A and B are shown apart, each in its own frame.
Chain A
Amino acid sequence: MANKKRRFKGGEIPTSSMADIAFLLLIFFLVTTTIDTDKGLGIVLPPAGDVEIEIRKENILNCLINSRGKVLLDEEPTPAEQISKIVGRRLRENDKLIVSVKAHPKTAYMDYIRVIDQLKMADAKRISIANSE
């Protein structure tokens, strides 16, 4: 048996591709990092103090939400998905329309958001949020 000892030829780790690997890692982290942005439905509250403004009756669209999330739009029970359609139509008829949203104190926030979302979809700019007493 020829047990020839191999001569050691100075071992080296190839480092030329190291930069590529590090770049790849960097780009991977840059791409996958999602900076969680806050998003949601924006609304501007009226200033404090009870300012009574006279609004003509035909310019108000009442939107009532009961404790179980059912919506009454101008005395008509309305499924939540159709609010935007109806409000959109009413807005085209009357661009001075103010939607007055009134929720029962026990209404779930989710149902309220659903209604506000529908109003936003109908591009209703004037939304009045009445106090739920």
Chain B
Amino acid sequence: MKFSRKTQISSEIPTASMPDIIFMLLIFFMVTTVLREYSGLPVKLPKAKRIEKLKSKRHTSHIWVSKDGLISIDDRLFTIEDISKIMYDKRVADPQIVVSLKADEEAKMEQVSGIHEKLRDADALKLNYSTKTLVN
């Protein structure tokens, strides 16, 4: 038997469509990246050194408190009395919920402690005071 060696097969990887594939990846990442789901209130967060990261975004719920005393949850304004009901519903839906309090540095403590009380009533006990990193 005689084997004829095939020499005509080109051994090159076709690279012509490579840019297309990579552009597609780029566009995929650009489209799927969600930058922010809600805008909240304009707050100037206080700064702190000993900060810890919140573990997951999924189990986090934000309460925004502006320096004028406005309270916003999920882009809707609420009064302080509404908080315990909303937070109770959220906690029932997700028992692991962590409340992130995004309060303005000029907000007053009476409001913050009012929110503490409402969160205790709602049994949402894990609280995180959202801050920025203090750089010396």
Q: List A residues at the B interface (Cβ < 8 Å).
A: 15-16, 18-19, 21-23, 25-26, 29-30, 33, 36-48, 65, 103-110, 112-114, 116-117, 120-121, 129, 131-132
Contacts and interface: CB of A to CB of B under 8 A. Distances in A.
A40 B100 contact: yes
Contacts of B130: 38-40
Nearest to A119: B50
Given A38-B128, A42-B128, A109 B30 contact: no
B64 to A, nearest CB: 12
A77 B136 CA distance: 24
Interface residues of B, number: 52
A100 to B, nearest CB: 14
Contacts of A117: 48-50, 131, 134
Interface stretch (B2-10, B70-78, B101-109): B101-109
B22 A114 contact: no
Contact of B133 (A33, A39, A42, A132): A39
Given A25-B26, A48-B120, A112 B126 contact: no
Interface in B64-99: 65, 98
- Name the prevailing secondary structure of the A interface residues: mixed
A48 B121 contact: yes
B119 A45 contact: yes
Contacts of A110: 46, 105-106
B22 A19 contact: yes
Contacts of B48: 40-41, 113-114, 116-117, 120
Interface string B113-136: 100110111010111111101100
Given A38-B60, A39-B51, A120-B50, A44 B127 contact: yes
A131 B123 contact: no
B23 A22 contact: yes
